[in-house]
Amino acid sequence: MNWLRARAVFDAKSDDFSVVHEIFESYGCSGTIEGDNPASLSGFFAETDSAGQVAAKLGKALLDQCATSVSYESVPEEDWAETWKQFFKPRPIGKRFLIKPSWEEAEAGEKLVIELDPGQAFGTGDHPTTRMCVALLEEAILDGDTVLDVGCGSGVLAIAAGRLGAGKIIATEIDPPAADVARANLERNGVVADVTTTETIPAATPPCDLVVSNIVSAVLIRLAADIARVMKSGGKWILSGVIPDNWPDVLKSANTCGFDVSETRTEDGWVAALLIRR
């Protein structure tokens, strides 16, 4: 399968491209690459029968967000994979982890290693939302917790939960290829999890001590009631993928569904929060 690379060019480099990142994510581009000279953002999505419609809608949204131009390029599967390898290098995340690609060696010292091959799931742990989720997870998780990762992508948060002592891990992912990547990465890291391809929270999900969901605001709002349904009283919900303009709506939905804010964090124009189930 080939991929389409969408490249949006802007007049100047912005200190806060979070809105543009979210536009890409809302059209299925879970990872983006920032470029200079000229300032640009690029994202990849599958070249399927509906790709033309997706490209048209994505392009309009990007132009409405002040992009000066949007271009598209078909990228073969093997070239797409090599492109991502150029940008994925070993790096620390949180206080306790080192994330490394499967094709590179790295000196971890005392850090816990998460080895990833993002495949078609993109997630490499380098996005501010992922960094904040891992940092909150390190502080919130308790040994033996039942953890649900909603929208698991490459599996990095589910793996982190397992390495931090989770007793049972359930993960959901809307995209079948990404779910396959998550399963492979979980196995690569010796973490056992039940990964389900779904847009919802499975009815059979057991009561959870902790839920983590690094996904776009609209989906957080839509799933808040279902997450509340599977959450134990006093359980913890770590969420991100939210830009500041959308945070009031996400918070209102969470409050309505029985959650209170324990902590919020911001980084590079993104919001993350730890919520507690009443």
Calculate mean pLDDT across residues 171-184.
91
Q: Residues 127-141: pLDDT tens digits? A: 889 999 999 999 999
**CB within 8 Å of 62: residues ≥ 6 apart:** 6, 8, 20, 23, 70
Global pTM reads 0.79
Q: Is the pLDDT of residue 74 over 80?
A: yes
| Helix ranges restricted to H, the chain | 18-26, 51-64, 77-85, 128-140, 156-163, 176-188, 217-230, 247-256
Q: Quick one: residue 122, left, alpha or beta (phi over 0 = left, psi -120 to 50 = alpha)?
A: left
Domain boundaries, the chain: 3-85, 128-277
> Greater confidence, 243 or 124?
243
**The CATH classification of domain 3-85, taken from the options 3.40.50.2300, 3.90.650.10, 3.30.70.260, 3.90.1010.10:** 3.30.70.260
Q: Identify residue 138 by its one-letter amino acid code.
A: E
Q: Which of 242, 231, 234, 233 is nearest to 264 (CA)?
A: 242
Main-chain phi, psi angles of 151, to 5 degrees = 75, 60
**The CATH classification of domain 128-277, taken from the options 2.40.30.10, 3.40.50.150, 3.30.1490.100, 1.10.10.60:** 3.40.50.150
Tokens of 84: 């991502």
